[in-house]
Amino acid sequence: MIEIKDLHKSYQMGSNSLHVLKGLNFSIDEGELVAIMGSSGSGKSTLLNILGMLDEADTGEYTLDGVPIKNLNETKAAKYRNKFLGFVFQSFNLINYKTAMENVALPLYYQRVARKEREEKALKYLQQVGLKEWATHLPSELSGGQKQRVAIARAMAAEPKVLLADEPTGALDSKTSYEVMDLIQKINDQGNTILVVTHEEDIAHMCKRIVHLKDGVIVEDKKVEQVRASQYV
């Protein structure tokens, strides 16, 4: 599903060049639930941004679902993002003047899905995350965990190939974190490929594979015994 080869990325900080990713290689198969771990500055967010086509690598190859991702202009990147990827952010990034349902329906709008169908689908995914009754509520009326569940529903609504989650539990207490991870596990059980960036050990162990980044290189890549989050909920 995801294939990267010798990925390099550096940022210019004034006269200094900061080499963030120093030649990454790995691949992710369909249906995997992968945690990318590392302390801050390890390059895990940069990696996720490149995978999410929000940022571009300096050198290296990136293939997503058999499509080589290179020489992207903004319009093309937007189309690929819409077609291939679903995003979950640490700070939820819901649009505050749109209801839960409208937020979930937004990616479908950019897919030119008709309004009625959008709403039906949005409700379907809200139901999956257990928030159907909250469909007409604004983000400000939801708790943190609920917001993140809406965000997950939004990421799922476009039926992406890969779900990218950047610290999805970073802003949540541990009980809510487990609820969210439970949801992510369930979505993974349905066969969806998911990447989770986290620095929390317990969250990482709820995935099936952990990729450990340190100073821009992969120091460890192991499959783990998945801890089901449902036992903590």
- For 86, other C-beta atoms within 10 Å of its C-beta total 26
Query: Of the ranges 12-20, 92-100, 173-181, 193-201, which one interacts with other proteins (CB under 8 A)?
Result: 92-100
Of 17-56, binders to other proteins (CB under 8 A) are 49, 52, 54-55
Give the shortest CB-79-to-other proteins separation in angstroms. Answer: 7
Is 169 buried (19+), middle (13-18) or exposed (0-12) by CB count in 10 A?
Answer: buried
For helices 74-84 and 100-110, angle between their N-to-C axes, nearest 10 degrees = 120
Q: Smaller CB distance to other proteins: residue 43 or 107? A: 107
Candidate residues 112, 190, 191, 225; the one interacting with other proteins per rule CB under 8 A: 112
Between the alpha carbon of residue 116 and those of residues 99, 112, 214, the distances in Å are 16, 12, 47
Give the shortest CB-107-to-other proteins separation in angstroms. Answer: 4
Q: Is residue 222 within the footprint of other proteins (CB under 8 A)?
A: no
Q: Is residue 233 within the footprint of other proteins (CB under 8 A)?
A: no
Q: Is residue 97 within the footprint of other proteins (CB under 8 A)?
A: yes
Query: Of the ranges 1-9, 93-101, 180-188, 191-199, which one interacts with other proteins (CB under 8 A)?
Result: 93-101
Contact 35, 210 (CB under 8 A): yes
**Distance between CA 214 and CA 69 in Å, rounded?**
25
Give the shortest CB-106-to-other proteins separation in angstroms. Answer: 6
Is 21 buried (19+), middle (13-18) or exposed (0-12) by CB count in 10 A?
Answer: buried
Per DSSP, 42 falls in state: S
Q: Smaller CB distance to other proteins: residue 78 or 219? A: 78
The label of the residue with tokens 């059980």 reads 189
- For 90, other C-beta atoms within 10 Å of its C-beta total 18
Contact 206, 37 (CB under 8 A): no
Binding mask 142-161 for other proteins (x = CB under 8 A): ------------x---x---
Q: Smaller CB distance to other proteins: residue 86 or 145? A: 86
Q: Smaller CB distance to other proteins: residue 1 or 54? A: 54
Binding site for other proteins (CB under 8 A): 49, 52, 54-55, 74-75, 78-79, 81-83, 87, 89, 91, 93-98, 102, 106-107, 109-112, 114-115, 154, 158
